[in-house]
């Protein structure tokens, strides 16, 4: 089955737009990768080779002694995220995709200081 000129133009435009426009999740991944790369470089120069990426991110965000959880996690605990609060970006556990490759997903976590528990 051959494509019409119109179908070919739409396919080309769609492919070009998809290459030029990153999804929001791709933007978050690039942002987190950039931060992590800089933190890893700083850790290696200071002799902290054993520190994980998420440990370095916790220190960067100044969240070393606080509980972190997802939006849904806080809701399950009976809390709600306060208005105007933004999630911290962390790397999730290695995940296997349907296509067969593994990757680390981006996790959106909120600190204990960003939530409020419902009053009974």
What pLDDT score was predicted for residue 87? 95
Stated pTM of the model = 0.74
Query: Do 41 and 28 contact (CB within 8 A), yes or no?
Result: no
Share of the chain above pLDDT 90, in %: 45
Domain ranges for the chain, please list them: 24-117
To 5 degrees, how large is the angle CA 26–CA 102–CA 49? 85
Q: At what angle do helices 24-45 and 53-60 cross, to 10 degrees?
A: 90
Using 70 as the pLDDT threshold, list the residues of the chain that sit under it.
Answer: 1-20, 120
Q: Which of 28, 108, 106 is nearest to 72 (CA)?
A: 108
């Amino acid at each position: 089955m051959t494509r019409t000129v119109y179908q070919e133009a739409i396919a080309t435009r769609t492919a070009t737009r998809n290459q030029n426009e990153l999804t929001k999740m791709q933007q978050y991944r690039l942002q987190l990768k950039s931060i992590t790369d800089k933190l890893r470089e700083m850790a290696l120069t200071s002799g902290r080779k054993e520190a994980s990426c998420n440990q370095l991110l916790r220190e960067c965000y100044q969240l070393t002694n606080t509980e972190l959880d997802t939006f849904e996690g806080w809701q399950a605990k009976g809390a709600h995220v306060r208005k105007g609060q933004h999630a911290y970006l962390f790397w999730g556990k290695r995940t296997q995709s349907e296509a067969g490759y593994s990757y680390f997903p981006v996790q959106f976590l909120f600190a204990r200081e960003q939530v409020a528990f419902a009053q009974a």
